[in-house]
Amino acid sequence: MLDDITYAQKQRLAYIDFCLLFKGSLCRIDLVEKFAVGLSAGSRDFNLYKELAPDNLSYDVKQKRYFQTAAFKPLFEHDAQRTLAKLANNISDGFDAIGDVQYPVEPASNLNVPNIFLVAKVVQATLNKFAIEIEYTSLTSGNQKRVIVPHSIVDNGLRWHVRAFDRKSESFRDFVLTRIHEVNRATEAKPFEGPDEDHEWNRTITLQLEPHPTNIQYPAAIELDYGMQNGMSEVNVRAAMAGYLLRRWNVDCSQNASLKGPEFQLWLRNRHSLMSTSNLAIAPGYEGN
CATH code for position 188:
2.30.30
DSSP state of 109: P
CATH number of the structural domain spanning residue 15: 1.10.10.10
In which order are the strands placed within the sheet that holds 65-68? 25-26, 65-68, 57-60
Given this model, what pLDDT does residue 91 score?
66
Distance CA(248)–CA(274), nearest Å, equals: 16
Domain that holds residue 167: 116-197
Given this model, what pLDDT does residue 133 score?
97
Distance CA(191)–CA(151), nearest Å, equals: 12
Would you say residue 211 lies in a domain?
Answer: yes
Given this model, what pLDDT does residue 59 score?
96
Residues 67, 135, single domain; the answer is no
- Our count of domains for the chain comes to 3
Q: Which residues of 115-154 are buried (b: 16+ CB within 10 A; e: fewer)?
A: ebebbbbbbbbbeeeebbbbebeeeeeeeeebbbbbbbbb
Would you say residue 252 lies in a domain?
Answer: yes
Final residue belonging to a domain, choices 197, 220, 236: 197
**Per-residue pLDDT of the chain in tens (289 residues, 90 and over written 9):** 777 889 899 999 999 999 999 999 999 999 999 999 999 999 999 999 999 999 999 999 999 999 999 999 999 988 777 788 777 776 666 666 555 555 576 666 777 788 889 999 999 999 999 999 999 999 888 999 999 999 999 988 888 999 999 999 999 999 999 999 999 999 988 989 999 999 999 999 999 999 999 999 999 999 999 999 999 999 999 999 999 999 999 999 999 999 999 999 999 999 999 988 988 999 999 986 5
Would you say residue 221 lies in a domain?
Answer: yes
Residues 19, 91, single domain; the answer is yes
Would you say residue 104 lies in a domain?
Answer: no
Helix (H, G, I), strand (E, B), or coil: what is residue 126? Answer: helix
CB atoms inside a 10 Å sphere around CB 81 = 14
DSSP state of 182: E
The amino acid at 126: T
Would you say residue 281 lies in a domain?
Answer: no
- Under 8 Å between Cβ of 244 and 283: no
Residues 24, 65, single domain; the answer is yes
Helix (H, G, I), strand (E, B), or coil: what is residue 48? Answer: helix
Residues 73, 155, single domain; the answer is no
User: What pairing do the DSSP bridges indicate for beta strands 180-188 and 130-138?
Assistant: antiparallel
Would you say residue 256 lies in a domain?
Answer: yes
Residues 21, 87, single domain; the answer is yes
Residues 81, 13, single domain; the answer is yes
Residues 93, 127, single domain; the answer is no
Given this model, what pLDDT does residue 165 score?
97
Given this model, what pLDDT does residue 158 score?
83
Q: What's the farthest any 2 CA atoms get from each other in the chain?
A: 70
- Residue 90 makes CB contacts below 8 A (sequence gap 6+) with none
Given this model, what pLDDT does residue 98 score?
56
Final residue belonging to a domain, choices 176, 197, 218: 197
Would you say residue 224 lies in a domain?
Answer: yes
Would you say residue 111 lies in a domain?
Answer: no
Distance CA(211)–CA(222), nearest Å, equals: 6
Distance CA(253)–CA(251), nearest Å, equals: 6
Final residue belonging to a domain, choices 145, 177, 197: 197
Residues 87, 155, single domain; the answer is no
Residues 187, 208, single domain; the answer is no
